[in-house]
Structure 1
Amino acid sequence: MKNLFVFLLALTSYFSYSQVWKSFGADSLYIPGNPTSYINIFKVINSKLYATGAFMKSGDTTLWGFGNWDSTKWSAVGFTKSYGGGGFCIELFQNKIYYGGGFINLSDNDIIDYLGCWNDTTWQPVGSIGSPNGSVRAISFKDKLYIGGGFGYIGSTYFNGIAAWDGSQWHHVENFDGAVSAFAIFNNELYAGGFFTSVSGTPAYFIARYDGAQWHDVGGGLDGYVKSLKVDTVENVLYVGGAFFNTGDNTHVRFIAKWDGSHWYDVGGGFNQDVETIEIYRGQLYAGGYFDTAGTQRIPYLAKFNGNNWEQVGSGIGNAVFAMAEYKDELYVGGQFKHAGGLASSCIAKWYIHPDSVNVTTELQASTKEQQIKIYPNPTNGNITIEFTLPEKQKALLKIYNSKGELFRKFIVAENENQKNIDTSKWAKGVYYCVVEQKGKRFSQVKFIVE
C-alpha cells in the first residue's frame, strides 16, 4: 500500500508539470485604450493559425481584427480595416481565403460587406451580383462554399439565410426561417445549426442536415439555438453546443449534446450557460463559453471531459471563451479574458499537454497483477499481441494513442476477451500508448514502440 501511495504521488507530481498554460505575453492581441478586445474564431490554414475578432494590434503590428500566426509572430492579411461587427468565419476554398462576419466596407472598400475573398494581394468581393445584406458564416462542402447567417439577400437576389458559391456564381440551397450560426461535415453530410425552426417549410428545430440533395431533421432537433458544432473523427460523433435543454427524442441535455447519427446523448450533465466553442485535443473533449458550472461543479468558462465528468483546465481562465483550435501540438484558446492559468494573456493563450502524460488521470487505478497490460513483441514491426484481464465482466475499450497524444485506434473488448492481436505493419514508426478503459475509468496504460 505504501508503494502504491508513493507511485500515485509521483504520478500526480509528473502530471501537474506536464500540463501547463502558456501566456502570449507581448504577442497578445488588444485594442489600445480599450479593455474589451476578444477573439471570435480560429482556423488553421496552410500551417498558419488565423484569428479574427475585436482586436487591433499585437505589439507594434497592426492587424485590424484579422491576422495569422506562424508560431513566432503575427502578420496582417492585407488591409482588413472594416466597420460594424467583427469576423465570424475563415474558410479556404479553391486555394483562396474567404472571410465572413458582421462587418461592412472591408479594407475600406464600400462594395465588400459581410464577405470578402483574399487573392494573396488584395481583398475582393465574392461574385458580381453584390454582397450579402447580413452576417455570414461559411464552410467548404464537396465542390462549393456554403454560407449561412443573418442575410436575406446577396445583392438584389433573395436567398434567405443560406447560399452556395461554386467559384463563379451563387446557387440557391432552399430557405431557412432563421439565421445559421454554425456548420460541420459529419458522415459526409453538411450539418447546419442556428436560430431556425424550419427549412423550406419542413420542421428542423435549430439543427438540420443536408445530404447534397435535400435537408433533413436531426433526431427531432433541439429546444434552443445552436452556436457550435464539432466532429470527433475518431469516435465518429458530432458534438453540439448552444443554449438548449432537451432534444426532440426527449433526451435531457444542458447546453451541449452528442449525436451519433441516430440518437442524442447527454455529455456529463452539461453546463448552466451557453457553450460557444467545442474542440478535441489529445483525444479529449473541451468546451468553452459563458458558463460557470459544468455538471455539478463550479468550473467557469472552459472545461474538459474525462469520459465521466467535466474538469477544470489547469487553474482555469478569467473570462468567456469563444474559440479553440489545435495548432502545432498546443490548444489555442481565444475569448474575452485577460488571464489564463494565472498568467496575463490578453484574448489568447495556449494550453499544452505533454504526450507522455496523456490519459494519466487521477482515476488511474492501482496497478495490480490482474490489471496490467502485457504487449509483445515490444518493440515490434508487425503483429502485436495485447493481453489484459478486465476487472469486471463487462465490455471495455482498448485505445491506442500516438506520440502526440491523439487517439489513433479504438477497439471494443467483449466481456470474455483477454487479448487483442493487432497488425502494426502499416503504422508510422514511433511511440504509442495502449490504454484499457472500463465504465469510463482507465485502469492501466503501457507504452510500446513500432520500428
Structure 2
Amino acid sequence: MTMFVHQLSTSIFSLRAARRAAAIVATMVAVLTTGSAQTGNDGWDNRFGWYGATGTVFTIDAGACDMYIGGQFTTGSSTPNNYVARWDGVTWSVLGDGLQGGTNGIVHAVEANGVDLYAGGSFTTYNGQTVNGLAHWNGTGWEDVGGGVSGGATPTVYDVVAFGSEVFVAGKFTSAGELAVNNIARWNTFTQEWSAIDQGVNGTVYDLHIQGDWLYIGGAFTEAGGIQTNNIIRYNLITNQWQQFGIGVNGTVRGVAAQDTLIYVGGDFTRAGNGNAPHIAVWNRLTSSWSSVGGGTNDTVHTLELRGQDLYVGGSFTQAGSINANRIALWNGTAWSLLGGGLDKTVYDLASCDLTLCVGGEFQRADGNQTPFVAQWDFTQWSSLRTGESHGLNDESRTVALISNGFYAGGAFTTAGSTNANYVAWWNGNSWEELGTGTNAPVNTITAEGDNIYVGGEFTQAGGAPASHIAIWDHSAKSWSSLGGGVNGIVHTMLSDGRYLYVGGEFTQAGGAPASNIARWDKQTSSWAALGSGVNGSVYALEIDDGNLWVGGDFTAAGSTTLAHIGTYNLSGNSWSSVGNGLNGSVHAIARSDESGQVYAGGTFTDGGGERLDHIAYWNGVIWKSMEDGVTEGVESTVVNAIAVVEDKVYVGGEFTLAGGIPTGYVVLWKESWLPLGSGVRGYLPSVKGIAADKDKVVVAGDFFSAGSQPSVNIGIWYAPTLSVEESENHHQSFAQAAPNPFHGSTRITISGLTTSTQNKDVYIRILDPLGREVMPLQNGITVNGTFQVEWEASTHPRGIYFAEVRLGDRVNVLQLMLQ
C-alpha cells in the first residue's frame, strides 16, 4: 500500500497552521492506511449501545408502529435524544437537539398526528428559542406554538390531543399565548390562534381522551365550566356543553379510556360514586352508574389503553383483583390476566399499534429481562428496543483501569449491559461481570495491580461489608476487603508504586489518624500514614516522577508551603515543594511520559506563571508550557478531567469542543499537535471523566451517548490504527496529485506514474473532512491503465482543509487539499 501527502506552502499558512495541518494529515495517514480502510470514527467500538432510554419515560405515542417517546432521558443511539425520541422499529433517531429547560425540563406528552408531532411538558427552550411547555416538530426542528403556556410556579402541559385542525392542550397553566385560560386550551392550526374551553377547570388536568364529539378530561379538580364535579368530566366539541359522571371519584384521575358506552378511569382514588373502586373504575352511560373494575388494584393506575375489547392497565400496583400483577395487567371485560412477569417498577404510559403494545416508565426489567424505561409486548413476550449489541452503562462512568484481559470501570451506574453491577464492573473483552454485590455508592477511581483491584469513591460498603470510601477486590478470589478502616471522606484518586498506595480526596482521617486530603497505605504493614501536613483542599490527581509524588487539586497550601493547585511531595525527604508558580485553577489530571519525562497537567486553569495554558500544559523542568492553544469551548464549562500517556501519545478527555482550534468531541490525542479521535463523543452536556490507554486501544469513561458514529453509552473504546511492515515501507510512495492546490472553486486530481502493480486496477476517490467524515464520493470504480484525471467542483463547500482519499486496488494515497 502506498501513500502520498501533498504538503502546503508555509507562505500561505502560518507555521502553526502548517504544523496543525500536517498533524491532521498524519492522523488521516495512520487511519486510512489500515487494510479495513477505516476512518477516524470507524476506530470506535460499536458494542456499547443501550437497550432503550436512560431515564424515565412519561409518555408514548405509537401511531402506526412509528413510536415517539417523551420524558427525562436520552437514548442509546448514535445521536443523543434529549427528552424526546423516535423509534421506527429498528433504530432510534434524533429529533433536533431535544427539549430542555433547567432542571425541570420534562416532556410529559407527545402526540403524533399525520405529519405533525407535538410535545408538551415543563420545558422552556429549544436551541435557545422559547417554546414554553408546548412545541411542534416541523421535520427539521422544534418550533413555538402560539407562545406556549404560562402562569403559576411551574407551568406544565401534561397531555396533548390532536383532532382535525385543533390541538387540545391540558395541564397546569393560566395562559395560552396571551389568552387567559384555566388549565386547558385549544390551538387552531389553520388560524394559528388559541381559544379557551369555556371557563376551563379549577385544577390540574392529567389526561385527555376524545371519542366521537366528546372530549374527556381527567385530573385533580372540583369544578369545570362552572359545574361542580370531582376529577372527571366530558365536554361536547359541537354543542360546547359539559356533562358530569355522577359525583365523580374521590381522588386524582390519571388515565381515561372510552369504549362504546363504558368510560374507564384510573388514578389515585379509592371510590367512584358511592362505591369502592380502588384506583380504577368504569362509568356505564346506559345505567349512569359507577362500578369497580374487577376489584381494582392495590396502588395507583397511571395509564389506560384500549385495544379492541381489551383494556390494558399500567401503574405502580402489584396486584389487580385477586392476582399478582407487576405494574401492568389486562382486563377483558370480565377478568384480569397477566402480561408475562410484568415490570419491576412503575409504568407511566401505554400505546398500542398493530404489532405491539409499547410501554414507558421508570422500570428496568420486563419479565426479568433488561428493558430500561421502555419496552414492547408482542402479546406473547416482552422485548427491549435495542440497536446492535447493548453493553452500555445506565449512568455515567468516572474511571477505568486496564488489565491484561479487559478493564474495570467505576462510576454512578448500577447496570452494565444486561448485568446488575453496583457502581463497578469488569469488562472481560466480550461481556460485563459484576464484582460481587459491588459498592453502595459511586466509584470515582480504580487502580489495578495484578489481581488486586483498588477502588475508591463515595461508598461506605463493598460487597455488603463496611469499607469506608476505599476497598480492594481480589480478581482471582472474587472477594472484597477493606483497607484498615479506610478514610473518612470521598476518595477522588489513587496511585500505586508497588509498596505504597497513595490516596487523594476530601478527608481528614485515614485509618482513624489525622490526614489532610492525602494519605498512603503501606501494603506490607497494612497501615495508613499521612503525607506531612497534607494539603488544605481537595486532591483530584496523583503521579510519580523520580522520587516525587505530584499532587493536583483545588488547594493553595501544604502546611506553610504555598501550592497553587499543584505541588510535589518528596518521598525520601518527606517535604512539599511548589511547581513553578503553580496554576491559576484546579488540577484534575496529571500524567507522566516515560519516553520524554515530561509531566502533563489538566484542569480548569488558564494560566501558569504568566503563560497562557488553556486547561492543559506540560512542565519542562523550569516552567509550564502551552500545548498549542490548549483545549477550549466547553458547553457549560471547560475542563480537562483525564490524561493518559502511551509512548509519545497523550490522550486527553474532559469538557471541550476545540483543541488547538480543531473541532474535537471531548476527547483528543496530542502528538506534537492536536489530533481528533474521529468525531469523539456526543451527548447532552457530554463529559469525558476517565481515560486508560495502551498501544492498541483507548478506553473512555464519562457521560455520553455516542462515540464516533457508534452508539456508545457512558463507556467507549477507540482502537488505535496501525501500519503493517509493508505499508510502512511504502508509506511515502505516490501515484496521485492534486492541482491547483490551494485552489478556488475546483481542483483536479491526477493519477499517473503507474507501475505494473498499479495498472488495471479500479480507482475509488472520495472527499473527507478533517475528522475523517465523508463529504462526497468523487469516483466509484473505474479501471485505470494510464494517466487518469477527475475534477472536484468545490464552490458550494465551505473554505478550509479537506482530504482526497484515492484508492487504487489495495493502495491508498491521501491528498491534503486547501479550498480558499
2:299 matches 1:224: yes
- Judged with a 3 Å threshold, the aligned counterparts in structure 2 of structure 1 residues 72 and 318 are, in CA distance, closer, same or farther, namely farther
User: Deviation of residue 136 (structure 1)?
Assistant: 4.4
- Once residues 342 and 20 of structure 1 are traced to their aligned partners in structure 2, the CA distance between those partners, rounded to angstroms, is 18
Among 125, 145, 150, which residue is 1:57 paired with?
Answer: 125
- Once residues 273 and 94 of structure 2 are traced to their aligned partners in structure 1, the CA distance between those partners, rounded to angstroms, is 46
Give 2:171's aligned amino acid: G
| Aligned length in residues | 305
The residue number in structure 2 matching 1:395 is none
2:323 alignment partner, SS class: coil
User: Deviation of residue 67 (structure 1)?
Assistant: 1.7
The residue number in structure 2 matching 1:276 is 348
The residue number in structure 1 matching 2:561 is none
Among 333, 339, 343, which residue is 1:261 paired with?
Answer: 333
- Judged with a 3 Å threshold, the aligned counterparts in structure 2 of structure 1 residues 142 and 199 are, in CA distance, closer, same or farther, namely farther
User: Deviation of residue 240 (structure 1)?
Assistant: 0.8
- Once residues 135 and 19 of structure 1 are traced to their aligned partners in structure 2, the CA distance between those partners, rounded to angstroms, is 32
Give 2:324's aligned amino acid: H
Among 287, 294, 306, which residue is 2:366 paired with?
Answer: 294
Query: Does the 8 Å contact 2:265/2:281 carry over to 1?
Result: yes
Query: Does the 8 Å contact 2:111/2:162 carry over to 1?
Result: no
User: Deviation of residue 312 (structure 1)?
Assistant: 2.4
Structural mapping, 1:47-86, within 5 Å: 47-59=115-127, 61-83=129-151, 84-86=154-156
- Once residues 239 and 282 of structure 1 are traced to their aligned partners in structure 2, the CA distance between those partners, rounded to angstroms, is 15
The residue number in structure 2 matching 1:444 is none
Give 2:368's aligned amino acid: T
Give structure 2 stretches of 5+ with no counterpart. 1-87, 396-683, 687-702, 708-820
User: Deviation of residue 130 (structure 1)?
Assistant: 5.4
- Judged with a 3 Å threshold, the aligned counterparts in structure 2 of structure 1 residues 298 and 259 are, in CA distance, closer, same or farther, namely same
Give 2:255's aligned amino acid: A
2:269 matches 1:196: yes
- Judged with a 3 Å threshold, the aligned counterparts in structure 2 of structure 1 residues 185 and 317 are, in CA distance, closer, same or farther, namely farther
Please identify runs of 4+ aligned residues in structure 1 that moved more than 6 A. Answer: 337-341
- Judged with a 3 Å threshold, the aligned counterparts in structure 2 of structure 1 residues 343 and 65 are, in CA distance, closer, same or farther, namely farther
2:238 matches 1:165: no
2:114 matches 1:42: no
Among 102, 117, 121, which residue is 2:186 paired with?
Answer: 117
Query: Does the 8 Å contact 2:181/2:196 carry over to 1?
Result: yes
Among 310, 322, 335, which residue is 2:382 paired with?
Answer: 310
Structural mapping, 1:3-42, within 5 Å: 20-24=90-94, 26-31=96-101, 34-42=102-110
Give structure 1 stretches of 5+ with no counterpart. 1-17, 320-336, 345-451
2:177 alignment partner, SS class: helix
- Once residues 200 and 369 of structure 2 are traced to their aligned partners in structure 1, the CA distance between those partners, rounded to angstroms, is 49
The residue number in structure 1 matching 2:750 is none
Structural mapping, 1:179-194, within 5 Å: 179-186=252-259, 189-194=262-267
- Judged with a 3 Å threshold, the aligned counterparts in structure 2 of structure 1 residues 59 and 23 are, in CA distance, closer, same or farther, namely farther
Query: Does the 8 Å contact 1:101/1:136 carry over to 2?
Result: yes
- Once residues 244 and 304 of structure 1 are traced to their aligned partners in structure 2, the CA distance between those partners, rounded to angstroms, is 19
User: Deviation of residue 338 (structure 1)?
Assistant: 8.7
- Once residues 52 and 307 of structure 1 are traced to their aligned partners in structure 2, the CA distance between those partners, rounded to angstroms, is 30
Q: TM-score, normalised to structure 1's length?
A: 0.60
- Once residues 187 and 264 of structure 1 are traced to their aligned partners in structure 2, the CA distance between those partners, rounded to angstroms, is 20
The residue number in structure 2 matching 1:152 is 222
Indicate the percent of aligned positions where both proteins have the same amino acid: 27
2:320 alignment partner, SS class: coil
1:135 alignment partner, SS class: strand
- Once residues 217 and 71 of structure 1 are traced to their aligned partners in structure 2, the CA distance between those partners, rounded to angstroms, is 44
- Once residues 178 and 116 of structure 1 are traced to their aligned partners in structure 2, the CA distance between those partners, rounded to angstroms, is 23
- Once residues 393 and 183 of structure 2 are traced to their aligned partners in structure 1, the CA distance between those partners, rounded to angstroms, is 31
- Judged with a 3 Å threshold, the aligned counterparts in structure 2 of structure 1 residues 121 and 305 are, in CA distance, closer, same or farther, namely closer
User: Deviation of residue 242 (structure 1)?
Assistant: 0.2
- Once residues 178 and 73 of structure 1 are traced to their aligned partners in structure 2, the CA distance between those partners, rounded to angstroms, is 39
Give 1:231's aligned amino acid: L
Give 2:92's aligned amino acid: K
- Judged with a 3 Å threshold, the aligned counterparts in structure 2 of structure 1 residues 181 and 269 are, in CA distance, closer, same or farther, namely same
Give 1:185's aligned amino acid: A
- Once residues 191 and 227 of structure 1 are traced to their aligned partners in structure 2, the CA distance between those partners, rounded to angstroms, is 12
User: Deviation of residue 211 (structure 1)?
Assistant: 3.2
- Once residues 297 and 221 of structure 2 are traced to their aligned partners in structure 1, the CA distance between those partners, rounded to angstroms, is 23
Structural mapping, 1:47-446, within 5 Å: 47-59=115-127, 61-83=129-151, 84-92=154-162, 95-109=165-179, 111-119=180-188, 120-127=191-198, 129=199, 131-154=201-224, 156-167=226-237, 168-174=240-246, 175-186=248-259, 189-213=262-286, 214=288, 215-233=290-308, 236-248=309-321, 250-281=322-353, 283-314=355-386, 315=390, 342-343=705-706
- Once residues 317 and 77 of structure 1 are traced to their aligned partners in structure 2, the CA distance between those partners, rounded to angstroms, is 36
User: Deviation of residue 94 (structure 1)?
Assistant: 7.5
Q: Give CA deviations for 1:41-67 in whole Å, capped at 9, x if unaligned.
A: 111235311111122233354321212
- Judged with a 3 Å threshold, the aligned counterparts in structure 2 of structure 1 residues 144 and 19 are, in CA distance, closer, same or farther, namely closer
User: Deviation of residue 98 (structure 1)?
Assistant: 1.7
Give 1:29's aligned amino acid: L
Q: Structure 1 stretch 268-277 or stretch 118-127: which is displaced more?
A: 118-127
Give 1:278's aligned amino acid: L
- Judged with a 3 Å threshold, the aligned counterparts in structure 2 of structure 1 residues 253 and 141 are, in CA distance, closer, same or farther, namely same
- Once residues 94 and 282 of structure 1 are traced to their aligned partners in structure 2, the CA distance between those partners, rounded to angstroms, is 22
Q: Give CA deviations for 1:174-202 in whole Å, capped at 9, x if unaligned.
A: 22111111112335532211111222112
Q: TM-score, normalised to structure 2's length?
A: 0.34
Q: Give CA deviations for 1:189-223 in whole Å, capped at 9, x if unaligned.
A: 32211111222112222112233242332222211
- Judged with a 3 Å threshold, the aligned counterparts in structure 2 of structure 1 residues 231 and 299 are, in CA distance, closer, same or farther, namely same
User: Deviation of residue 280 (structure 1)?
Assistant: 2.8
User: Deviation of residue 156 (structure 1)?
Assistant: 4.9
Q: Give CA deviations for 1:17-39 in whole Å, capped at 9, x if unaligned.
A: x96433426442222xx254221
Larger Rg: 2
- Once residues 170 and 147 of structure 1 are traced to their aligned partners in structure 2, the CA distance between those partners, rounded to angstroms, is 10
- Once residues 356 and 203 of structure 2 are traced to their aligned partners in structure 1, the CA distance between those partners, rounded to angstroms, is 39
- Once residues 258 and 318 of structure 2 are traced to their aligned partners in structure 1, the CA distance between those partners, rounded to angstroms, is 24
- Once residues 148 and 225 of structure 1 are traced to their aligned partners in structure 2, the CA distance between those partners, rounded to angstroms, is 14
Give 2:168's aligned amino acid: Y
- Once residues 75 and 151 of structure 1 are traced to their aligned partners in structure 2, the CA distance between those partners, rounded to angstroms, is 31
1:164 alignment partner, SS class: strand
Q: Give CA deviations for 1:333-381 in whole Å, capped at 9, x if unaligned.
A: xxxx99999449xxxxxxxxxxxxxxxxxxxxxxxxxxxxxxxxxxxxx
Query: Does the 8 Å contact 2:201/2:221 carry over to 1?
Result: no
Give 2:224's aligned amino acid: I
User: Deviation of residue 170 (structure 1)?
Assistant: 2.1
- Once residues 325 and 337 of structure 2 are traced to their aligned partners in structure 1, the CA distance between those partners, rounded to angstroms, is 7
User: Deviation of residue 281 (structure 1)?
Assistant: 4.7
2:358 alignment partner, SS class: strand
User: Deviation of residue 261 (structure 1)?
Assistant: 1.8
